[in-house]
Amino acid sequence: MAGPVRVSDIIVPEVFIPYVNEETVNKSALVRSGIVVPDASLDELAKRGGRLIQMPFYQDLTGDDEVLGTGTGATDSDLTLGKITTSKDQAVLFTRGRAWGDEDLAKALAGSDPLGAIADMVANYWAWREQKLLIAILTGVFADNADNDSSDLISDIASAGTPGDSNKIGADAIIDAMTKLGDAANKLTAIAMHSTPYSRLQKLNVIDYEPAATANIGFGTYLGKTIIVDDDLPTDTGSTNTEYTTYLFGPGAVGRGDGEAPVPVETDRDSLAGVNILIHRRHFLLHPRGIKFADASVANSISPTNAECNMACNWDRVYEKKNIRIVKLITNG
């Protein structure tokens, strides 16, 4: 008797893993907006092993130029030797996994393409979880910015009293936030916001929904910038007003790399319960470029949780401010 189709009958790791990885990228609004950029060099680093990934870089040249002399003395003709200095960015390898039973996969197993259906479901799941992780990372990054960099990448226009238009999202708010990067403001090309400030922009009829716009990934564009709407973005409900966090990004602000878990996919069956099981494990990098993972507080000494990514002590800026390409805006809607 042939028996029913089981997960183990259709999951071939050599096919499943590349497909899921590719579909996770394709389904991610963060990737499609250009905020998160898959990077082959980060793929390679993620596969080398080790929990902390070292990324040294050269810092910009400094010092004044000098007037060339014409005399014969050393003080007239010799240039002063300068030097190039180095610093180090550091990413952390995220190790995550999830298991599913037949109840979650029943509809997929009934489809005409069960492998594709399961892979799509898993890819959607990981795209969502990566977005949740990035929001946790940004919370920690900007907590560090507030603690150690005088909030120089944060524009807070929220009011403790009765909020007016000047305390809510709009052109002035976005432009003032962009100005945090000074003459590098044109690097910011995408805006991620909660649905409440997004609905305000809709009511103001300022969103461009032109389908041909290359920056439009479904929510339209504003001031020429891609809009991403996600209600997982931080909100702070105080005693008087709710504050909403909006992020402005430049392309490639966050790098993404896929590693290789030792056993990325397993299938099993609980015969007594009649349950087919799919287990998926992932090793990957999701790193805000130029902001080092400081590894100050990670309980299990392997990989940080989302809650630990929220912590200011785990992040430290190592790039010059204008090279960060992420700005935070706080409004009352």
- State the SS3 of the chain: CCCCCCHHHHCCHHHHHHHHHHHHHHHCHHHHCCCEEECHHHHHHHHCCCCEEEEEEECCCCCCCCCCCCCCCHHHHCCCCCCCCEEEEEEECEEEEEEEEHHHHHHHHCCCCHHHHHHHHHHHHHHHHHHHHHHHHHHHHHHHHHHHCCCCCEEECCCCCCCCHHHCCCHHHHHHHHHHHHHHHHHCCEEEECHHHHHHHHHCCCCECCCCCCCCCCCCEECCEEEEECCCCCEEECCCCEEEEEEEECCCCEEEEECCCCCCEEEEEECCCCEEEEEEEEEEEEEECCEEECCCCCCCCCCCCHHHHCCHHHEEECCCHHHCCEEEEEECC
Give the rounded distance of the alpha carbon of 280 from its chain centre.
21
pLDDT value at residue 1: 41
The per-residue pLDDT for 104 is 58
Distance CA 93, CA 303 (A): 7
Q: Report pLDDT for 61.
A: 76
Q: What is the pLDDT of residue 9?
A: 72
Q: How far apart (Å, rounded) are the C-alpha atoms in residues 214 and 233?
A: 24
Radius of gyration of the chain (CA): 24
Q: Quick one: pLDDT at residue 267?
A: 85
pLDDT averaged per 10 residues in sequence order, the chain, 333 residues: 63 81 84 88 91 82 75 62 80 94 64 72 90 95 97 95 94 97 95 96 93 75 93 86 96 94 88 81 96 94 94 97 96 96
Token output for 163:
């909020």
